Amino acid sequence: MTIRKFKAATMKDALLLVKDELGPQAVILNTRKTGNALFGGERYEVTAGLDESAQKKAAPEYAMTYSPKKLKKNSEGRYIDSPVFGSDSATAVMERPMRESTVLPEFNSPAQSEFRSLTAGIDAMRSAVYSIADQAAEKSKESALPPALARISDALEQNEVSPAHVQQLIEQIKKGLPAESANDDVALRRRLFAAVESDMPVSGHIKKGLDRARRIALVGPTGVGKTTTIAKLAAHFRLRENLKVALIAADNYRMAAIEQIQQFAGISNIPLEIVYTDDEMKAALEKFSRFDMVFIDTAGRSQRNIEHMNDLRRTLLALDPDEVHLTVSVTTKMKDLRVIERKYSEIGYHRLIVTKLDETISYGTLYNLVKESGKAISYISTGQSIPDDLSLADSRSLANLIAGGGAA
Ligand X SMILES: Nc1nc2c(ncn2[C@@H]2O[C@H](COP(=O)(O)OP(=O)(O)O)[C@@H](O)[C@H]2O)c(=O)[nH]1
- Should residue 381 be labelled a site residue for Mg ion when binding is judged by CB under 5 A? no
Residue whose C-beta lies closest to ligand X = 225
Element (H or E) spanning 2, and its range? strand 2-8
- Should residue 382 be labelled a site residue for ligand X when binding is judged by CB under 6 A? yes
Interface segment toward Mg ion; rule CB under 5 A; list 15-23, 65-73, 254-262, 361-369: 254-262
From 65, 203, 228, 303, residue interacting with ligand X (rule: CB under 6 A):
228
Residue 93: which of 203, 231, 191 has the closest Cα?
A: 203
Nearer to Mg ion, 26 or 257 (CB): 257
R_g of the chain computed on alpha carbons: 24
- Should residue 355 be labelled a site residue for Mg ion when binding is judged by CB under 5 A? no
- Should residue 331 be labelled a site residue for ligand X when binding is judged by CB under 6 A? no
For 23-131, list the strands marked E by DSSP. 27-36, 41-50
- Should residue 229 be labelled a site residue for Mg ion when binding is judged by CB under 5 A? no
One-letter identity of residue 67: S
From 223, 267, 307, 333, residue interacting with ligand X (rule: CB under 6 A):
223
- Should residue 329 be labelled a site residue for Mg ion when binding is judged by CB under 5 A? no
- Should residue 227 be labelled a site residue for Mg ion when binding is judged by CB under 5 A? yes
From 10, 34, 108, 384, residue interacting with ligand X (rule: CB under 6 A):
384
From 104, 358, 388, 396, residue interacting with ligand X (rule: CB under 6 A):
358
Minimum separation from the CB atom of position 344 to ligand X (A): 13
Minimum separation from the CB atom of position 44 to ligand X (A): 25
Residue whose C-beta lies closest to Mg ion = 227
One-letter identity of residue 407: A
Q: Segment 236-295, which members bind ligand X (CB under 6 A)?
A: none
- Should residue 227 be labelled a site residue for ligand X when binding is judged by CB under 6 A? yes
From 300, 348, 364, 406, residue interacting with ligand X (rule: CB under 6 A):
300
d(CA 200, CA 398): 7
Minimum separation from the CB atom of position 226 to ligand X (A): 3
Task: Classify residue 218 by burial, with Cβ atoms within 10 Å: 0-12, 13-18, 19+.
Answer: buried
Give one DSSP letter per residue of 283-350, joined into a string: HHHHHTTTSSEEEEEPPP--TT-HHHHHHHHHHHHHH--SEEEEEEETTS-HHHHHHHHHHHHHH---
Q: Using CB distances below 5 to 8 A depending on partner kind, what does residue 382 bind out of ligand X, Mg ion, none?
A: ligand X
Interface segment toward ligand X; rule CB under 6 A; list 23-31, 124-132, 190-198, 221-229: 221-229
- Should residue 167 be labelled a site residue for Mg ion when binding is judged by CB under 5 A? no
Nearer to Mg ion, 192 or 258 (CB): 258
Phi first, then psi: give them for residue 244, nearest 5 degrees: -85, 110
Question: Could you tell me the CA-to-CA distances from 108 to 37, 104, 347 in Å, in that order?
Answer: 41, 12, 14
Nearer to Mg ion, 189 or 226 (CB): 226
d(CA 337, CA 59): 17
Minimum separation from the CB atom of position 300 to Mg ion (A): 6
From 356, 364, 375, 399, residue interacting with ligand X (rule: CB under 6 A):
356
For 15-167, list the strands marked E by DSSP. 27-36, 41-50
- Should residue 225 be labelled a site residue for ligand X when binding is judged by CB under 6 A? yes
Residue 319: which of 370, 278, 366, 356 has the closest Cα?
A: 278
Alpha-carbon torsion angle 373, 201, 154, 328, nearest 10: -50
From 359, 388, 396, 407, residue interacting with ligand X (rule: CB under 6 A):
359
CA angle 203, 102, 100 (to 5 degrees): 110
d(CA 348, CA 163): 28
From 189, 214, 226, 325, residue interacting with ligand X (rule: CB under 6 A):
226
Q: Which residues bind ligand X (CB under 6 A)?
A: 222-228, 300, 355-356, 358-359, 381-384, 389
Q: Which residues bind Mg ion (CB under 5 A)?
A: 226-227, 257
